[in-house]
Amino acid sequence: MPTMVQVLEDENRLVVIRSHLNAPDGRLMRSLLDARGIHAFLSGENVAGMNEGMFANLMVRAGDREEAENILSNVTALPASAFPVRQDPDGEELACHRCGSSRVHPYAGRLPSLMPFLRQTARPEDAFYHCLECGNYYTEKRPRFTSLSIAVMWGGTLAIATLLIIWVINWLQWS
């Protein structure tokens, strides 16, 4: 017959209730359980968040397993295969240049810009993409305007403005 200590040890040991979760899905399920008063642990959370191919396991105490299964019975994680895989002409999977996510979709329309009066419009033949993870807009093709021409234009504009300001200051000193 098991002793009271053995029973408590068995109920407090961690058991896996969901495995092979990516980090966001695991955090979602853990927060659902925590909201209902069940303490959950996500093993491998940090590794799964850093590496796309790594997964995490959701664990609870053995005594809370049945209640946790009831709570999570209506929750399903969307498998990565449900997202469309976009490939370039060479057959390589497209990925965001900023965050590396493969959750990108083609984009046509006005592109956001930090420089006023230089808003570019993306046409379908320009092959612009929008990342659903970080919101980045990028293209796999070389843009119509290279950054050198824009830099020269802005450099010239700022140089003329600086010379004009110096001329006005000198004119005010001698007037």
* Predicted local distance difference test score (pLDDT) of residue 113: 75
| Per-domain boundaries in the chain | 4-76, 87-144, 148-175
H helical segments located in the chain: 4-12, 23-35, 45-50, 65-72, 147-174
CA 111 from chain center: how many Å? 19
Which of residues 106 and 158 earns the better pLDDT score? Answer: 158
Residue 121 tokens, joined: 């419009």
CA 6 to chain centre: 45
- Would you state the CATH architecture of domain 87-144? Roll (3.10)
| pLDDT tens digits, 67-112 | 988 988 887 665 555 555 666 666 667 778 777 777 788 888 888 8
Architecture of domain 4-76 in this structure: 2-Layer Sandwich (3.30)
